[in-house]
Structure 1
Amino acid sequence: MQVIFISEGADLDALSTAFGITLIDPEAKILLPGAVSSSFRLAMKRFESKLKGKLIKINELKKINVLYLADTNNYKNASKKLSDFIDENTKIIIYDHHPIRSKLPKKVEKHIKKTGSASTIVVYQLKKNKIHISPEDATILILGIYEDTGSFTYNTTTEKDLRAAAYLLSKGADLETVKNIIEERIDQQQITIIHQLVENLQYFFLKDKKIIFSFAYSDRYIPDISGFLHMIKPLQEADAYFIMINEKGKTSIIARSKKKDIDVGKIMSYLGGGGHFAAASATVKGLTVQEIKNYIESVLLSEAYKKRVISEFMSRDIITVVKDTQIQEIKEELDKAPVIFVVDKKGKFLGIALSRVLKESLRHGIKDVKIENFIIDSIITFEPSTKLSEAEKTITASSQEYFPVLENGKPVGVINRTYVIKILHGQVFDSEKDIFISRERIKPKFLNFEKNLRKYLPDHIITHLEEIGKLSKKLGYNTYLVGGIVRDIVMSKKSLDIDLIVEGDAVKLSKEYAKLKNIPVHTFEEFMTAQLTLETGEKIDLATARKETYTHPGAYPKVEKATIKEDLYRRDFTINTLAIEITEGKFGILIDFFNGLKDIKDRMIRILHQLSFIEDPIRILRALRFAGRLGFKLGKPTEKLLKLAVDEDMLNVAPTGRINIELNYSLNEERVIDIIMLMNRYRVLHSLIPDFYMDEKREEILNRLRDTIISFEMFFSIKIDRVSNYLLALMYHLPFDISYKILQKYHFSKTVKFFEEYLEVKDLFHKIPQKDSDLYKKIKFIKKDILVYICASSDIELSERIIRILKKEEEKDLLLSGKDLKEMGIPPSPIYKKILDDVFKKYLDGEIKTKKEAIEYVKKHYL
């Protein structure tokens, strides 16, 4: 038996090539795959009589003597699918135009050329063999050439494709038929997919090239979608793009490239697919869209920088000092470099010393001490031959700024973390440089805010702040009210979240004030912080104005005293950098170093420095929480840098415990839906939750969930588990085992139990009883936290019925009680429960409406 194999999702080129092979070998049959393009199906219908007897299905196969591969050279895939019908004696013949990505058996007969279509190769073979071609044959053969060359507009088109088409036209090929079959027809499902792809565009910059990723979800196979991608303008402007369409856990990838150094065929071959440099595809199971994207990005980086090594980018201008050198001997060198390389007498690297630490030692009169006493040896190093792509993951995950480069154990250079990020991802920060530099140099504004302070804080708090200010002045310190409370006062809101920063010693000030007032104090001297508990129960947190440095990767921050400006500069956003001084003589003076007042007025969230989101990815979540809570927008540079940090998957290296805390804050916010929609808009949820997507259904559930939670808390005077409910609304598309892993990863152990309990009862609502009393039997043992989600995700009628039933349950004792039964002369006994349940059932079904009717019912049926 001779069989022609074509791949899943086969297009016209596969059909034309396979048909051409049947002209070369009339005994060969075309094995139809499970899925083909719509144009393939159109051609089959149009040429039904011509293809009759040439097609075969897999259940009709017998032992294969000759196996042809048409428009594919993926022998491994073909042999796997046909393993029951081929053996070592089966002859393999391939007609294909895609590059060979995996090793082929030696016995394979290869007809593989660099042409725009595989059909071209078959046409040349037919011409060479002088095989007769009828006008209908020519039309079928020319279809593949026209489709795979984009009617000769794709940059993969060759002279041979044009010559083959000319030959087929001379044989009577009908271009009107070609036009009718290839002409674009877009249906509603394809429109939906195109819309999703537009919404989900993500950019990835690789040196000077712009690459786009996008994805969509569908519940069925979408044929020919690649033919409509030209409708998305950004894709046409990109140097390359990767489109991922998830169909029930299986992801189809369509890849296109305009640049030969971005070989999408090669990249797709790593994922089990194939193609040539300009066009390729693959189908992947078992990986999320985000995981596929991350993998492709890593391959792109590896391909782009696989020949580039650290030595090409490192600075060779380093200062090397022998370990027993005294600090005073290198005094003049300390201003020339931020780090000093310490070596032994043979020049072998021992570690680094920080120039600022050495200068500080000299300032304190420490001169004769050897530099070996200041060595930091727990430090990441690289070799000159280390590939930049290999170093990137280590560098971006580390808080270390400078990385020594060693050759045979001796220092030969240094590479800077920020510089590496710029090399790998383009000079993305340069356009913002002036903005951030100017922000540091803004002349501070001073405003009298004492009246506002007294307006929005209780009198007893004002008294404590005044007295702390007096003690502060007495000790020679300056003390400031900082953080969210200042922002809220500026925005005319009340707040009691009191944070003080002390230019001096916060621990000493706290102890003395606690002693003076005889109130409790807890101190954390390592971090130079303390907490006072007032008689009324409020807390006042005090911290020494400080800046933080990291002596080596993974270390806790080294805290050093600083000015109020330095302390505020390490904050997350300008709106949180305002301070109101409470020191005696300056009480109520607001200081604005970084234009925080203007940003509050403009309703803008802005970061203070360029690497803010990369240094602390949790700020991504905080930025969107504040924006949602306050109704603010992100400043343009901040928005650009946030998008970059999300695209670089920086949340994946953030501490999972801190993500848990921030998500808890966000999901308990009053304007939680606004925050969630911002997290969706900026792709944050897509980073945290595999295959996340937002559609009308999810948006409706979220909005109804918010309203249902408010209703339950108001009607039943209970506190609903908002976090678990919203997490379920965000993850209901995932199988439980995947949800479980995410919840465990981010430490939502309470929510795991919530998900389990919901899954146990959700199937109870597939069939809804007509009577409320029967519905009550289903819901009476379900926790109200779970019922909230059931109401929000069910139709409105069911939701209203459940709430009505629960309200009646609250009124159950008011309707009829054991005391009422006793007064009717019924002696206490187990029958009480039967009577009360019976009456309540009638009440649920509307047969009893008042207490009077309930008593009459009992008298009639039980007395």
Structure 2
Amino acid sequence: MKVITTHPGMDFDALASLVAAKKLYPEARICFPSSVSSEVKQFMAVYGDIVPHVLPEEIELSKVSELILVDTRWITRIGSFRNLVGEKGVKIYIYDHHPPHPNDIHGDGGLCRETGATVSILTRILRERKISITPIEATLLILGIYEDTGSLGFTSTTTLDLEAAGFLLSQGANLELISSFLNRSLTEKQTALLNDFIERAEKRIINGVEVVIIVAEVDEFVGGLSLPLHKFIDLKNLEVVFALIKARERIYIIARSRISSVNVNEILSSLGGGGHNFAASALIKEQDIKEVEERLHHLLKEKIRPRQTVRDVMSSPVRFASPSTSLKEAKDLMRKHGILTLPVLEKGRLVGIISREKVDHVMAHNSGRASVKGYFSPKAFTSPPHLSIKKAQEIMMEEETRTLLVLDNEDLVGIVSGPDLLRAFHEGTQGSSYLESHPHKNDPPGPREPEFSFATLPKDKVRPRSISGKKGQLVKDLLEKRVPRKIQRISEQAGKVGQRMGFRAFIVGGFVRDLLLGIENLDVDLVVEGDGIKFATELARQLEGELKRHRGFGTATIVLPYGFRL
């Protein structure tokens, strides 16, 4: 007999994975775990007929020849089926998306990848094997993906989850139906718990990271603890939260993280729990909650990696002008070093900022002999060096500015631009293991031609960072699999030209983000260290293209013989 089962407290990802696995093993019986989540219980009350199943007590273990586990591989989370592990003649197949853990079972087959949802892995297999999926099945499967990825919004969401969701929509998945199960209102007890979260939340700065810790006690266990916690996180826009909830003799810890420097799976594994890098939980019995809180605090100080700050990404030293600097001198300085804004300092003190756009506008109507004094803006946005790059981005978005000047006390020590932050965020992107072997055929290019823009950044204003090792191979593989060969050849040639000229070139902007997410984007921004026009001139010669220089902006356009524009 073949049996498919999952973990206690079965959620929608686990339920959907059971259904998907049944399509891979049609002769197997689905066995529900000893408990299911309240949301799944409500779903089954209405739609239970579409998932025929048995309960553990109905299974005679001695007759089981194959055990298929989905959404778990912990030996401590499969109930009585743990007795089959290591049994002669029993094969175990595992499909799971959790990171490795000491409690893991090592099966005879299956597929384990760190993705947003287990059902995404199974959906990919069904698609590759061309196994048909009905619209009802597609709806249940996408419900599992949406629940575990926060409707594809959690940081744990991967390209595979996006592709699986897109495929299921093409098979008739009904998003209107699943919204009624995902957008749930709080029960009376959950609402009371949410109010407790708001009242008891305590912010702590640990290794430069803001962590919110909540300690609460309830008379009896409240089902669906994660729902009020998610509401609280969204309400306060928090990045890292640990909630310790004591119910009688048990302490439930639920942790959520939106940043890669805080791996909650690693932290709670030290307390006997686990889960994902961005979502984990633990259950502790018969211990004092204050002692548990103290242990957690020590773990946080030990495990949280210091977060990138403005000091880590800023460009330094800073080119600047004085009020007496002529507009022509300011323009020449910005053009020479490929910068678009100049801080204005008077006797070493920051008094304002002037942009390349402002200088060009004034010089178009007046002589360049006029000084900066009458035209710079006293409104300059600043940041201390210890500010996190996330907070820096928030300030730049709120103030609609492209640069932040970094002040240590009153000393100007650096400048941060949008591209600086973008590089920092992308370097922090966590590569998932499935990407290294995920097959993907090149899609034909869309109706519009891609465009490359060449901009100039000076070597002393950019901190070059190379992508190497596993992440480097990841990016290389994605370029080969997702980008049309025409663009690949051009980027390779650009790299060779840059190497010969001693320049470094970076692809930045939305293209990089969409490449990692698996979204087609053929608008590419290429930033060059040094003289962008000089670089473009040589590249145009190599590609036999027509060069159009835009000296006022330090940029250039290349039109290739077949009409392709760079």
User: Match of 1:82?
Assistant: 81
Evaluate the alpha carbon distance shift between residue 106 and residue 142 of structure 1 in structure 2; reply closer, same or farther with a 3 A threshold.
Answer: closer
> Does structure 2 conserve the Cα–Cα contact (< 8 Å) formed by 1:229 and 1:235?
no
> Does structure 1 conserve the Cα–Cα contact (< 8 Å) formed by 2:6 and 2:72?
yes
User: Match of 1:58?
Assistant: 57
| SS of alignment partner, residue 55 of structure 1 | coil
User: Match of 1:255?
Assistant: 255
- Deviation beyond 6 Å, 4+ runs, structure 1: none
User: Match of 1:137?
Assistant: 137
| SS of alignment partner, residue 262 of structure 1 | coil
Q: CA separation in 2, counterparts of 1:241 and 1:235? A: 13
Letter in 2 for 1:44: M
Deviation at 1:292, TM superposition (A): 2.2
User: Match of 2:326?
Assistant: none
Deviation at 1:186, TM superposition (A): 1.1
Evaluate the alpha carbon distance shift between residue 245 and residue 84 of structure 1 in structure 2; reply closer, same or farther with a 3 A threshold.
Answer: same
Letter in 1 for 2:50: K
> Does structure 1 conserve the Cα–Cα contact (< 8 Å) formed by 2:190 and 2:222?
yes
User: Match of 1:118?
Assistant: 118
Q: CA separation in 2, counterparts of 1:221 and 1:65? A: 38
Evaluate the alpha carbon distance shift between residue 106 and residue 114 of structure 1 in structure 2; reply closer, same or farther with a 3 A threshold.
Answer: closer
Alignment of structure 1 residues 520-539 onto 2, 5 Å: none
Evaluate the alpha carbon distance shift between residue 98 and residue 85 of structure 1 in structure 2; reply closer, same or farther with a 3 A threshold.
Answer: closer
| SS of alignment partner, residue 232 of structure 1 | helix
Pair 1:302 & 2:302 matched: yes
- Gaps of at least 5 residues in structure 1 are 307-425, 427-863
> Does structure 1 conserve the Cα–Cα contact (< 8 Å) formed by 2:74 and 2:103?
no
User: Match of 2:47?
Assistant: 47
Deviation at 1:119, TM superposition (A): 1.0
Deviation at 1:138, TM superposition (A): 0.9
Identify the range of structure 1 (29-38 vs 279-288) with the bigger mean alpha-carbon deviation: 29-38
Evaluate the alpha carbon distance shift between residue 249 and residue 193 of structure 1 in structure 2; reply closer, same or farther with a 3 A threshold.
Answer: same
Letter in 2 for 1:201: A
Alignment of structure 1 residues 290-329 onto 2, 5 Å: 290-304=290-304
Q: CA separation in 1, counterparts of 2:48 and 2:103? A: 37
Evaluate the alpha carbon distance shift between residue 293 and residue 112 of structure 1 in structure 2; reply closer, same or farther with a 3 A threshold.
Answer: same
User: Match of 1:215?
Assistant: 215
Deviation at 1:71, TM superposition (A): 1.4
User: Match of 1:69?
Assistant: 69
Q: CA separation in 1, counterparts of 2:26 and 2:222? A: 33
Evaluate the alpha carbon distance shift between residue 18 and residue 236 of structure 1 in structure 2; reply closer, same or farther with a 3 A threshold.
Answer: farther
Pair 1:158 & 2:158 matched: yes
Deviation at 1:69, TM superposition (A): 2.2
Evaluate the alpha carbon distance shift between residue 240 and residue 233 of structure 1 in structure 2; reply closer, same or farther with a 3 A threshold.
Answer: closer
Q: CA separation in 2, counterparts of 1:141 and 1:31? A: 18
| SS of alignment partner, residue 210 of structure 1 | strand
> What are the superposed Cα offsets for residues 577-616 of structure 1, whole Å, 9 maximum, x if unpaired?
xxxxxxxxxxxxxxxxxxxxxxxxxxxxxxxxxxxxxxxx
| SS of alignment partner, residue 267 of structure 2 | helix
User: Match of 2:270?
Assistant: 270
Q: CA separation in 1, counterparts of 2:145 and 2:19? A: 13
User: Match of 1:376?
Assistant: none
Deviation at 1:45, TM superposition (A): 2.4
TM-score normalized by the length of structure 2: 0.50
Evaluate the alpha carbon distance shift between residue 280 and residue 106 of structure 1 in structure 2; reply closer, same or farther with a 3 A threshold.
Answer: closer
Cα root mean square deviation, aligned:
2.6
Letter in 2 for 1:121: I
Evaluate the alpha carbon distance shift between residue 29 and residue 204 of structure 1 in structure 2; reply closer, same or farther with a 3 A threshold.
Answer: farther
Alignment of structure 1 residues 452-851 onto 2, 5 Å: none
> What are the superposed Cα offsets for residues 374-411 of structure 1, whole Å, 9 maximum, x if unpaired?
xxxxxxxxxxxxxxxxxxxxxxxxxxxxxxxxxxxxxx
> Does structure 1 conserve the Cα–Cα contact (< 8 Å) formed by 2:8 and 2:77?
no
Q: CA separation in 2, counterparts of 1:185 and 1:237? A: 19
User: Match of 1:842?
Assistant: none
> Does structure 2 conserve the Cα–Cα contact (< 8 Å) formed by 1:117 and 1:149?
yes
Q: CA separation in 2, counterparts of 1:138 and 1:147? A: 14
Evaluate the alpha carbon distance shift between residue 241 and residue 57 of structure 1 in structure 2; reply closer, same or farther with a 3 A threshold.
Answer: same
Evaluate the alpha carbon distance shift between residue 217 and residue 27 of structure 1 in structure 2; reply closer, same or farther with a 3 A threshold.
Answer: farther
Deviation at 1:132, TM superposition (A): 1.9
User: Match of 1:279?
Assistant: 279
> Does structure 1 conserve the Cα–Cα contact (< 8 Å) formed by 2:9 and 2:36?
yes
Deviation at 1:174, TM superposition (A): 1.4
Q: CA separation in 2, counterparts of 1:65 and 1:215? A: 46
Pair 1:225 & 2:222 matched: no
Q: How many residues align?
A: 305
> What are the superposed Cα offsets for residues 496-521 of structure 1, whole Å, 9 maximum, x if unpaired?
xxxxxxxxxxxxxxxxxxxxxxxxxx
| SS of alignment partner, residue 61 of structure 2 | coil
Q: CA separation in 2, counterparts of 1:158 and 1:111? A: 16
Deviation at 1:99, TM superposition (A): 0.7
Deviation at 1:150, TM superposition (A): 0.8
User: Match of 1:18?
Assistant: 18
> Does structure 1 conserve the Cα–Cα contact (< 8 Å) formed by 2:273 and 2:280?
yes
User: Match of 1:203?
Assistant: 203
Higher helix share: 1
Q: CA separation in 1, counterparts of 2:194 and 2:91? A: 43
Evaluate the alpha carbon distance shift between residue 2 and residue 233 of structure 1 in structure 2; reply closer, same or farther with a 3 A threshold.
Answer: closer
Q: CA separation in 1, counterparts of 2:166 and 2:108? A: 30
**Rg larger for:** 1
Letter in 2 for 1:203: K
Q: CA separation in 1, counterparts of 2:141 and 2:234? A: 33
Pair 1:178 & 2:178 matched: yes
> What are the superposed Cα offsets for residues 86-145 of structure 1, whole Å, 9 maximum, x if unpaired?
543332222111111226455442411122111100101111222221111111111101
TM-score normalized by the length of structure 1: 0.33
Evaluate the alpha carbon distance shift between residue 281 and residue 28 of structure 1 in structure 2; reply closer, same or farther with a 3 A threshold.
Answer: farther
| SS of alignment partner, residue 47 of structure 1 | helix
Q: CA separation in 2, counterparts of 1:18 and 1:283? A: 25
> Does structure 1 conserve the Cα–Cα contact (< 8 Å) formed by 2:193 and 2:228?
no
> Does structure 2 conserve the Cα–Cα contact (< 8 Å) formed by 1:65 and 1:86?
no
> Does structure 2 conserve the Cα–Cα contact (< 8 Å) formed by 1:212 and 1:235?
no
Deviation at 1:83, TM superposition (A): 3.9
Q: CA separation in 2, counterparts of 1:219 and 1:82? A: 33
Deviation at 1:248, TM superposition (A): 2.7
Q: CA separation in 2, counterparts of 1:272 and 1:235? A: 29
Q: CA separation in 2, counterparts of 1:31 and 1:126? A: 21
Evaluate the alpha carbon distance shift between residue 42 and residue 305 of structure 1 in structure 2; reply closer, same or farther with a 3 A threshold.
Answer: closer
Deviation at 1:84, TM superposition (A): 4.2
Higher strand share: 2
Deviation at 1:77, TM superposition (A): 3.6
> What are the superposed Cα offsets for residues 148-174 of structure 1, whole Å, 9 maximum, x if unpaired?
111111111122111111111111111
Deviation at 1:233, TM superposition (A): 5.6
> Does structure 1 conserve the Cα–Cα contact (< 8 Å) formed by 2:263 and 2:304?
no
Deviation at 1:211, TM superposition (A): 0.9
Q: CA separation in 1, counterparts of 2:35 and 2:218? A: 15
Q: CA separation in 1, counterparts of 2:285 and 2:7? A: 16
Deviation at 1:237, TM superposition (A): 4.0
Q: CA separation in 2, counterparts of 1:194 and 1:200? A: 10
Evaluate the alpha carbon distance shift between residue 281 and residue 40 of structure 1 in structure 2; reply closer, same or farther with a 3 A threshold.
Answer: same
Alignment of structure 1 residues 382-461 onto 2, 5 Å: none
| SS of alignment partner, residue 261 of structure 2 | coil
Letter in 1 for 2:240: A
Evaluate the alpha carbon distance shift between residue 38 and residue 107 of structure 1 in structure 2; reply closer, same or farther with a 3 A threshold.
Answer: closer
